[in-house]
Amino acid sequence: MNATDPTKRVVRARRIQFAYPAGTLARHYVDGDLVTSHAIAFLSATFPEGEDFFVRSVRRCAGEITDPELKSQVQGFIGQEVTHGREHRALNERLQEMGYPTRRWDRTTRRVMARYERFFSPLTCLAITAALEHFTAVFAETLLGDERAQALLGSTEVRSMLLWHAIEESEHRSVAIDVYRAAGGTERRRIWAMRGISIRFATAIVVNTTLSLLGDRAAYNPIRLVRSLAALPRLPFLARAVQRRVGAYTKQGFHPDDTDNTALLQYWTAELFGEKGTLTDHLR
């Protein structure tokens, strides 16, 4: 398997803005599907507070870094995550108006992150960050690499926004783990953090998606609900290959660059932000 050349890594925040005028998004904006629309709304709601936690965790341990390359990547990482948080807040407000409880999810995420910071050391918070960044990067690269995943989002502004977010998650996927290692983090702590957070993350998605569905009248249509649940095993984000990539994190010596993302990033950067890029008009 090819690896990414770390010297070619560029992490830089784009100044970008999306808009979701009222009436431009259908209630079930993910291909009319119940479960994935609620699940993605939940994930979007957790991003702003989650990404703030990532930034604080990286910042608190970044004092140990001597490598100028990594230092500059940390700055890029912070700029990217701050922009993601701001843009997800805008989307979350729209989703709240459409009936998804994103404000409540946002408050819960803030409480959970504050609890982590109270109970865990800065290095463990960074290990949790690196583990969650791995999840984000694998899902991001699945969206960028699988046409079926892109097709689910149709041609909505949510699709454009998630593609931009996915590019930047792939660009900075190594920053948290590199800072963790530079700060002296052990493999044991890194792997245990992933095991713990995987259970927490999977439970949160299942529980909150279910509760959210209970508040949606459309979910009481048995045919629609059964059809949506039956489609889950075919969801690109739950494919075997994706599960294997997530699981690879618990191997000793794992590094995100073990999987080459160069071609994927080149393609999407040109497609969205090149001369005829479809999102060039969104840049400020």
> Cβ 31 to Fe ion, closest distance in Å?
23
Looking at residue 276, the DSSP 8-state letter turns out to be: T
Closest-CA residue to 6 (of 135, 139, 177): 177
CB of 135 to Fe ion, least distance (A): 10
Q: How far is the CB of 133 from Fe ion (least distance, A)?
A: 5
CA-wise closest residue to 36 among 158, 161, 199 = 158
Q: Which of residues 159-218 bind Fe ion (CB under 5 A)?
A: 169
Instruction: Identify the CA nearest to 146 among candidates 283, 7, 264.
Output: 264
Q: Which is nearer to Fe ion, 133 or 178 (CB)?
A: 133
For the bound state, the minimum distance from the C-beta of residue 145 to Fe ion, rounded and expressed in Å, comes to: 17
Residue numbers 223-262 binding Fe ion by CB under 5 A: none
- Residue 50 C-beta: closest distance to Fe ion, Å: 8
- Minimum Å gap between C-beta 193 and Fe ion is 16
Q: Which residue's C-beta sits nearest to Fe ion?
A: 84
Return phi, psi of residue 210, to 5°: -65, -50
Size of the site for Fe ion (CB under 5 A): 4
DSSP state of 16: B
Told to check if 9 binds Fe ion by CB under 5 A, we report no
Shortest Å, Cβ 59 to Fe ion: 14
Which are the contacts of 239, defined by CB distance < 8 A and separation ≥ 6?
142
Distances (CA, A) of 21 to 91, 111, 250, 251: 10, 30, 42, 45
**What does the alpha-carbon distance between residue 176 and residue 143 come to, in Å, rounded to a whole number?**
21
- 8 A C-beta contact, residue 164 and residue 268: no
* Number of Cα atoms under 13 Å in the Cβ half of residue 49: 21
Give the nearer residue to Fe ion in terms of CB position, either 170 or 228: 170
Q: Which stretch binds Fe ion (CB under 5 A): 86-94, 129-137, 202-210, 239-247?
A: 129-137
Count of other CB atoms within 10 angstroms of residue 89:
16
81 versus 106: smaller Cβ distance to Fe ion: 81
- Which listed range, 35-43, 131-139, 147-155, 268-276, lies at the site for Fe ion (CB under 5 A)? 131-139
Instruction: Give the integer Cα–Cα distance in Å for 278 and 44.
Output: 22
DSSP lists the bridge partners of residue 283 as 16
Report if residue 28 touches Fe ion, rule: CB under 5 A.
no
Closer of 33 and 169 to Fe ion (Cβ): 169
Looking at the Cβ atoms of 86 and 148, the one nearer to Fe ion is: 86
Residue 84 near Fe ion by CB under 5 A:
yes
Query: Where do contacts with Fe ion occur on this chain (CB under 5 A)?
Result: 81, 84, 133, 169
